[in-house]
């Protein structure tokens, strides 16, 4: 591709505009939005298609771009200019085009369970295809789908438009089913079949880590030549270390005690993320007479509406109800303050393709104690920027948390190393690598068409 591509970015089951940390919104939402902005900064025109979940949502949301002279390019201030940039064949030099989010009606607006969404994929595909039909033929250069539901729609669009399909799985059913929490429901066979179809159809598969790349090849039979490792980025400016005085101020502003260790869990409250392991670990510390830190859970229920109440009930039963604080998911700027207020961030996930929270926390100079699974093994440098814990035994977690918090000098060393480790992640680098993947996918698509 000689010019910056026009990209149809598909995020069917969750909008990148939704607040991460509850329902189906998580790291993937941040990934799609930040990647799209970074691609736009390189001149690409990115349109994100997501399913409309309310009749109140606008048909389109236009996220600001930047003019060549550095002034914002917004729909409110210059609608004609935005239209010209979005519809021109080539973006003017130095201009960062706006990113457009399309809310596509497909099925009932009422919130559907993720497992019900395959029934509305035909409607979603039809809605996406209508957008291209309203443009000149050959408008889009590439389809980039996120999660298997988007991959199903993306395969139809890519075939219709005769453009490459690039797919990022974010999570894989076979990996999740191999590491289920006790009592958790496995992913249905329909999802496994759907993922296998997308892996076979995609011209390029994007994995966040070498471990995920290996899983695509070993568990799904992906062609290794089509699998590309592109590490996600981190907003290194928003999530940056601050002096001790600012950390103390952040803790005070958030209403946290100044004289108590604080462990932060940021994510959806669900068995996959395993916050219950942390609550049980606090119970072990209480039983053994060791110091019990304050556990702050920053997130909302996912899967079951009662998930938060169940976690709070577990804390009461375990005798650590006064050591658990649950707060709603935080906006990005506020999230940085929560990282700064914590002594460490804990991620006991049973499966993680990457683990954006761990990367963000480390960027903020905060050590991470994480389960030794998936992408977390690539982010956390064990014994250098934090600690990796094998398994989910609460007693083991209690020991690691207590020992890490007790050694303040080592904790400070972890924080310094954490920032250094996180600096290798950047959305700019991710966008540059993705543009190369798009070009390779286009060549692969052409070769498949010819032979």
Rounded Cα distance between 251 and 447, Å, is: 57
What Å distances lie between residue 138 and 7, 132, 133, 419, CA to CA? Answer: 12, 8, 10, 44
CATH class of 6-233+426-450: alpha beta
426 marked as binding residue: no
What percent of the chain has pLDDT above 70?
Answer: 98
Rounded Cα distance between 252 and 254, Å, is: 5
268 marked as binding residue: yes
316 marked as binding residue: no
The reported pTM is 0.92
- Say if residue 396's pLDDT is above 60: yes
9 marked as binding residue: no
Q: Mean pLDDT across the chain, nearest whole number?
A: 92
Q: Contact, 416 vs 365, CB < 8 A? A: yes
97-136 pLDDT, tens per residue? Answer: 999 999 999 888 776 777 788 889 999 999 999 888 777 7
User: What pLDDT band is residue 1 in, cutting at 50, 70 and 90?
Assistant: very low
What CATH number does the domain located at 244-422 have? 3.40.50.2000
Q: 102-116, 173-187, 291-305, 424-438 — which is least confidently predicted?
A: 102-116
User: Residues 6 or more apart from 165 whose CB is under 8 A from it?
Assistant: 142, 143, 145, 151, 154, 155, 157, 158, 201, 202, 203, 204, 441, 445
Per-residue b or e along 49-86, where b marks 16 or more CB atoms closer than 10 Å to that residue's CB: bbbbbeeebeeebbbbbbeeeeeebbbeebeebbeebb
359-385 pLDDT, tens per residue? Answer: 999 999 999 999 999 889 999 999 999
107 marked as binding residue: no
Tell me if domain 6-233+426-450 and domain 244-422 are identical in fold: yes
156-210 pLDDT, tens per residue? Answer: 999 999 999 999 999 999 999 998 888 888 999 999 999 999 999 999 999 999 9
Rounded Cα distance between 410 and 291, Å, is: 18
Beta bridge partners of 72: 66
Beta bridge partners of 7: 46, 142
360 marked as binding residue: yes
261 marked as binding residue: no
pLDDT of the residue at 18? 86
What percent of the chain has pLDDT above 90?
Answer: 76
342 marked as binding residue: yes
185 marked as binding residue: no
Sheet holding 204-207, edge to edge: 60-63, 99-104, 45-51, 6-10, 142-146, 165-168, 204-207, 227-229
Rounded Cα distance between 158 and 140, Å, is: 9
Domain limits, the chain: 6-233+426-450, 244-422
413 marked as binding residue: no
- Say if residue 16's pLDDT is above 70: yes
53 marked as binding residue: no
191 marked as binding residue: yes
136 marked as binding residue: no
114 marked as binding residue: yes
């Amino acid at each position: 591709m000689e010019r910056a591509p026009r990209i149809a970015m598909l995020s069917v089951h969750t909008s990148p505009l939704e607040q991460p940390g509850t329902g189906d919104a998580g790291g993937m939402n941040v990934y799609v939005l930040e990647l799209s902005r970074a691609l736009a900064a390189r001149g690409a025109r990115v349109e994100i298609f997501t399913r409309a979940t309310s009749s109140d949502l606008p048909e389109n949301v236009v996220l600001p771009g930047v003019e060549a002279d550095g002034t914002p390019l917004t729909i409110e201030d210059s609608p004609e200019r935005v239209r010209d940039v979005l519809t021109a064949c080539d973006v003017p030099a130095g201009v960062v085009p706006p990113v457009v989010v399309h809310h596509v009606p497909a099925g009932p607006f009422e919130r559907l369970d993720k497992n019900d969404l395959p029934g509305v994929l035909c409607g979603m595909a039809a809605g996406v295809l209508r957008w291209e039909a309203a443009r000149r033929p050959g408008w889009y250069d590439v389809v980039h789908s996120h999660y298997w539901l988007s991959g199903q729609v993306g395969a139809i669009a890519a075939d219709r438009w005769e453009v490459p399909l690039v797919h990022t799985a974010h999570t894989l059913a076979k990996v999740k089913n191999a590491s289920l929490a006790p009592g958790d429901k496995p992913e249905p066979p329909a999802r496994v079949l759907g993922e296998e179809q997308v892996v076979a159809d995609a011209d390029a598969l994007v994995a966040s880590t070498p471990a995920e790349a290996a899983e695509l090849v070993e568990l799904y039979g992906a062609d290794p030549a089509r699998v590309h490792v592109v590490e996600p980025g981190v907003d290194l400016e928003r999530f940056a270390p601050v002096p001790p005085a600012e950390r103390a101020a952040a803790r005070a502003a958030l209403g946290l005690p100044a004289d108590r260790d604080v462990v932060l869990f940021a994510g959806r409250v669900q068995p996959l993320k395993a916050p219950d392991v942390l609550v049980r670990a606090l119970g072990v510390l209480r039983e053994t007479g060791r110091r019990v830190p304050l556990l702050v859970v920053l997130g909302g229920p996912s899967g079951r509406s009662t998930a938060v109440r169940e976690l709070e009930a577990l804390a009461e039963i375990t005798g650590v109800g006064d050591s658990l604080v649950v707060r709603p998911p935080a906006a990005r700027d506020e999230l940085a303050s929560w990282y700064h207020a914590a002594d460490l961030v804990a991620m006991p996930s049973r499966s993680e393709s990457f683990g954006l929270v761990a990367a963000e926390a480390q960027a903020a100079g905060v050590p991470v104690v994480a389960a030794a699974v998936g992408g977390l093994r690539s982010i956390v440098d064990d014994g250098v920027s934090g600690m990796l814990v094998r398994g989910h035994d609460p007693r083991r977690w209690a020991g690691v948390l207590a020992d890490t918090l007790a050694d303040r000098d080592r904790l400070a060393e972890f924080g310094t190393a954490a920032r250094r480790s996180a600096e290798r992640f950047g959305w700019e680098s991710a966008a540059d690598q993705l543009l190369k993947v798009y070009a390779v996918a286009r060549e692969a698509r052409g070769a498949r068409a010819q032979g």
